[in-house]
């Protein structure tokens, strides 16, 4: 499975596969959720998905920082997690 598109749809960030079917979504109002250690909750969760490549995680990080410029995410450690993806 491969993510072909990520876009906002009905208040959620939706991940679509190559056939146009949605395979995952995150409510927009939850995108800037932070774990106890300060890392992005969603980058952390997505990193365990086989289809979540480094490029996909970086795209999500860019979307979060664009939508929530004053977020409390520790981007230093979150970016390290992104860089470990293949």
Q: pLDDT tens digits, residue range 56-86? A: 999 999 999 999 999 999 999 999 999 999 8
DSSP 12: E
Rounded Cα distance between 76 and 85, Å, is 15
- Total count of domains within the chain: 1
Rounded Cα distance between 45 and 79, Å, is 14
Domain region containing 10:
3-84
What region does 57 belong to: left with phi over 0, alpha with psi -120 to 50, or beta? Answer: alpha
Q: What is the 3-state secondary structure (H, E, C) of 33-53?
A: CECCCCCEHHHHHHCCCCCCC
Predicted local confidence at residue 24, as pLDDT: 98
Note the pLDDT tens digit of each residue in 45-59: 999 999 999 999 999
Decide: pTM greater than 0.85. yes
């Amino acid at each position: 499975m491969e993510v072909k598109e990520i876009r906002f749809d009905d208040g959620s960030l939706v991940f679509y596969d190559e056939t146009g079917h949605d395979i995952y979504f995150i409510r927009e109002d939850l995108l800037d959720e932070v774990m106890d250690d300060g890392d992005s909750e969603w980058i952390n969760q997505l990193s365990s998905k086989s289809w979540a490549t480094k490029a996909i995680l970086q795209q999500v990080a860019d979307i979060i920082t664009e939508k929530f410029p004053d977020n409390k995410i520790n981007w230093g450690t979150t970016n390290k997690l992104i860089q470990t993806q293949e």
